[in-house]
Structure 1
Amino acid sequence: MNDTINSDVEAIGRIDAIPAILDVACRVTGLRFAAVARVTESRWICCAVRDDIALGLVPGGELEIATTICDEIRAGGQAVIIDHVAEDVAWSGHHTPKLYGFQSYISMPIILRDGSFFGTLCALDPEPATLSTPDIISTFKLFAELIALHLESQSRLALSEAALLDAQETAELREQFIAVLGHDLRNPVAAIEAGAAMLAKAPPDEKSARIIAMVEDSCKRMTGLIGDVLDFARGRLGSGLTLVRQIDGGLRAALDQVVVETRAAYPGRQIARRFDLQEQVDCDTQRIAQLLANLLTNALTHGDKDSVVRASAESRGGIFTLSVVNHGQPIPSDKRARLFQPFTRMDEGRPQGLGLGLYIVSAIAKAHGGTVDVTSTAAETVFTLTMPNRG
C-alpha cells in the first residue's frame, strides 16, 4: 500500500503543469492555499501544494482522513464549495473548518477514466471568498479533469514501456536459447552419428560395446536437454509448469530413487541422505524428484570432489523442506544473484547443459507455492526448497 501511495505522489510530481494549476487556482479564487491530494478510504496524502498561509503541508505529508472534508467527497463523489463557513448552515458546525481554521473552501474530485477516485484538487483560506460561481467551478472541474488525463497518460506510457522491455527481454532470451541449444545439441548428435557409422562397419566386439555405451550416454543427455527445453518453454514462455499433485504419491521412494540413480551416474562420489517425512506432502512427486536430481547434479558438478554431498528432506508443522549441501568454493555474490535465471552457468569453463537446471528448480518450487534459497560460504553451499505440505 505504501509503495502504491508513494508512486501516486511521484506521479503527480512528474506533471509539469501542476505548479501552474495550483497558482492559477489561487489567483482566480483569491485563496492562499491549494493542493492536490491522494485520498483513499483510510489516508489523505498531499501530492503537491501551494501554501501561502503556513499550514505546513509538504508533498508526502499526511492528514488524518477523518479530519478532512475530502473523506466525504470520496464517499459521495461530488465537489464541495463553501463561500463562508460561519454563514453556511450545512458547514458552520463541521469539525474540519474549526480544526484547520478556514472560512472558504473548494474541493473538486479527481476521477480517472475507469471511474476510480484518485483524490481531490482543493483550495482554502482563513477568510471568506466568493467561490460558488460558474467560472470558478468550471475552472476547478477543468483542472481536475486535466490532472486525471495526465495520470492516465503516465499509466499508459508505463504499460507501454513495460511491454516493450518484456518484448526485448524475451527476444534476448530467445537468441540466447537458440545459440546455446545449437552448441550443446551438436556434440551429442555428432557422437551418435559417428558411433552409428562405426557400428555399421565393425563386427561385435569390446570396441563396439564401448561405442554403444557412448551412444546410450549421448542419447540420455539429449533426452535431458529436451526435457529442460520443454520445461523452460512451459515455465518462461508459457503459463507455467503443469503439476500432477498426489498426497500419497510415494515421495520418499522417489527421493530415494533419485539418490540411487545419481550415485550410479557419479561413481566414486559420496552422497548422504536423510529423509524424515512425518507428514504427507501434497505435491507432484516426479517434479520434486526432478528438483532433487537437479540440485544433486549441481552440487556434484561444482562442489569439492572429495567431500560428501548431503541431501535432506523433512515435512512437519505443515511445511516441507528439502536441502542439498556441498563443500567447495563459495558462489560469488554477483553470480548468486543470477543463479535462478535461465541460461546461467556457474562455471563458464564447463559448457555442459543449457544452464537451465537451477531455473527449472525455481520454476518447480514456484509451481508448488514455494521458494528456493541459497546460502554460500567458505564452509558450505546450501540450496533449500521450502513449500507448504498442502497446495
Structure 2
Amino acid sequence: MNALIEKDIRTIQSIEAVPFIMKMLADATGLRFICIARVTHDNWTTCAVLDRVNFNLQPGDELEIQTTFCNQVRQSSTPIIIEHAQNDEYYNSSTIPSMYGFESYFSFPIFSKNGHFFGTLCGLDPLPAKLKTTEIKQQIKSFAELISRQIEADEKLSTVESDLFNEKTAAKLREQYIAILGHDLRTPLSALTMGVNFLMEQVKDDTSQKILARMDNSANRMKRLISDVMDLTHGKMGNGIELQVKPVNNLQNILSHTVAELAALHPQQTIQTSINVEGLLNCDPERIAQLLSNLLINAIVHGDPAQIIEVTSTIIEGVFSLSVSNGGSPISPETVDKLFQPFWRNESNKKTGGLGLGLFIASQITLSHNGSLTVSSNESRTVFTFQASL
C-alpha cells in the first residue's frame, strides 16, 4: 500500500462522524455491511467498515478494482443502487453480486478537494432490500456529500499546516542568515572604522577631515543598522531580546549620557531631562540606554522640532519609570496598533533612513525586562512610557 492511500485511510479514520454515518445508514437501509472505500484507477481500498455479516474486510484491505461496481462509479461519478441483483434487468447478468454474495447494494461517489474523485460510500447485504425510495437515496447522497466536505476540509487544513511549516522553516533560515551576515559584516566594518579613526589623527587638512567625518558617521550608522537587524533576529519576533542583567548603581549617569549624545547629534532640537534614578537596580544598562535612545530618536524624527522633548525617569515604590514626551500631531488610534511592529514606518516618514525597527526593539527590551511600554497621544503631547520593577 502506498503512502498516499495510507494518508487517505487516516483522513477517513479521523472523521468522528464516520462511525455514526455508517450505523445510521445500516439502520435506515437494513444493509448489514457499510464501508467507505478509496477508489483509484488501480486500487479499491477499505478506509472504514461496519460489518454485521462477517464479510471480513478491515481498513487497509484491498479488492481487485475490476471486480467492483465502484470502478463504474469512479468512471461515471454516478451512483449505483441495486435492490435485488437476481431480478435486476441490468445487473442480473453480472458476476460481481454472486462473487461477493450480495443481492442488495449501493455505491455513491465521494469527492475530495476541487471535486476530485476520492472513492465511494457503499453498502451491501446477502438479502434484498428496498433502496430506491426518494428518502433512502437522499439520505445516502447527503451522507456522501457530508464525508466529501469533511475530506475537503481536512485537505485544506493539511495545506495550511504545510504552508505554515514551510514558512516557519523559511523564517528560521532567514534568521540564521541574518545572524551570520550581521556577524560577518561587523569584522570588515570594524576594520573600516579603525582606518577612518587612524586617518583622522594623521590627516589634518579641513577637506580631508570633513570627508573622514562623513565616513565615520556612515560607518556608525551602518553599525546601528546591523545591531538593529541582529536584535530583530535575537528577538525572534516576539520572544524578547537576550539580556546581560547585573546590579547597576549608575543608571542615572548612563541615561544622562545617552541623552547628551543624541542632543549633540541634533543641536536644533531642545531636550529637557528630569532623571532622578538613584540606588541599586538589576537590569541590562546597555539595553535600557538603547531603549531610551530608540524612544528619543522616534521623538526627534516624528515630533514637532519647534517643541521641547522631555525625558523623565523616576523610581517610585520600587517601579522604575522612563518616559519620552514630544509635541506635534497626535498619533491616530489605528497607527498606535502598528507602532511596535517590525519594519513598520509611517507613510509620511519614509525618508527617515531607518529600518523601522526602533520601537519594535524597544518593545522587545521591555518584554525581556518583564515590563510595559505604553503610548498616549493627544493634540498636546505624545508620551512613550516604559515601566518595570528592576
TM-score (norm 1): 0.51
1:173-207 deviation line (CA, Å, top 9, x unaligned): 999x89xx9xxx9xxx9xx99xx9xx9xxx85322
SS at match of 2:283: coil
Q: Write out per-residue CA displacement over residues 116-174 of structure 1, whole angstroms, 9 at most, x where no aligned residue.
A: xxxxxxxxxxxxxxxxxxxxxxxxxxxxxxxxxx9x99999986565455457678999
- 1:94-105 residue pairs with structure 2 within 5 A? none
Q: Is the 8 A contact 2:304 2:328 kept in 1?
A: yes
Matched residue, 2:222: 222
Deviation per CA, 1:359-390: give whole Å up to 9, x if none: 1101111111112111222221111112122x
| Counterpart-to-counterpart distance in 1, 2:329 and 2:16 | 57
Q: Secondary structure at the match of 2:247?
A: coil
Quick one: distance in 2 between partners of 1:170 and 1:379?
Answer: 43
Does residue 380 (structure 1) correspond to residue 381 (structure 2)? The answer is: yes
User: Aligned to 1:372, what secondary structure does the other structure show?
Assistant: strand
Tell me, yes or no, if the aligned pair for 1:246 and 1:283 is still in contact at 8 Å.
Answer: yes
Assess, with a 3 A threshold, how the Cα gap between structure 1 residues 237 and 331 changes in structure 2: closer, same or farther.
Answer: closer
Report percent identity of matched pairs: 32
Partner of 1:356: 357
Residue 313 in 1 paired to residue 316 in 2? no
Counterpart of 2:268 in structure 1 is 268
Please give the alpha-carbon distance, in whole angstroms, between the structure 1 residues aligned to 2:227 and 2:381: 30
Match of 1:339 in 2: 339
- CA drift of 1:19 comes to 9.9
More displaced stretch, 268-277 vs 154-163: 154-163
Q: For 1:174 and 1:378, how far apart are their aligned partners in 2? A: 43
Written as runs of structure 1 = structure 2, the 5 A alignment for 1:5-24 is 17-18=16-17, 21=20
Number of residue-to-residue matches in the alignment: 242
Query: Distance between the aligned counterparts of 1:154 and 1:305, measured in 2?
Result: 53
Residue 317 to residue 222, structure 1, CA distance change in 2 (3 Å): same
**Once the 2 structures are TM-superposed, how far is the Cα of residue 325 of structure 1 from its aligned partner?**
0.6
What residue in structure 2 maps to residue 233 of structure 1? 233
**CA–CA distance in 1 between the matches of 2:336 and 2:174?**
21
Counterpart code for 2:227: G
Distance change >3 Å, CA 169–CA 227, structure 1 → 2: closer
Instruction: Name the SS for the 2:330 alignment partner.
Output: coil
Structure 1 unmatched runs, 5+: 1-14, 29-149
Which amino acid is 1:213 matched to? Answer: A
Give the CA RMSD over aligned residues: 4.4
Deviations 1:272-306 (A, max 9, x none): 11123355321001110110011101101110001
1:279–1:316: 8 Å Cα contact kept in structure 2?
A: no
The match for 2:110 is none
Distance 1:154 1:212, change over 3 A: closer
Cα shift readout 1:244-268 (whole Å, capped 9, x = no counterpart): 2122241111001111111101102
Structure 1 residues 278 and 209, CA gap change in structure 2 (3 angstroms)? closer
Counterpart AA for 1:243? L
**1:223 corresponds to which letter in structure 2?**
K
Q: 1:259 to 1:17 in 2, by over 3 A?
A: same
Are 1:210 and 2:210 an aligned pair?
Answer: yes
Gap change, CA 1:316 and 1:156, over 3 Å in 2: farther
Query: How far 1:208 sits from its partner (Å)?
Result: 2.0
TM-score with structure 2 setting the length = 0.51
TM-fit CA distance, 1:218: 1.1
Quickly say closer, same or farther: Cα 1:314–1:204, change in 2 above 3 A: closer
* Matched AA of 2:207: K
* Contact 1:281–1:315 (Cα < 8 Å) also in 2: no
Q: How does 1:1-391 map to 2 (within 5 A)?
A: 17-18=16-17, 21=20, 162-164=164-166, 166-167=168-169, 205-236=205-236, 240-277=240-277, 280-346=280-346, 347-389=348-390
Q: Is the 8 A contact 1:371 1:385 kept in 2?
A: yes
Q: CA separation in 2, counterparts of 1:308 and 1:234?
A: 34
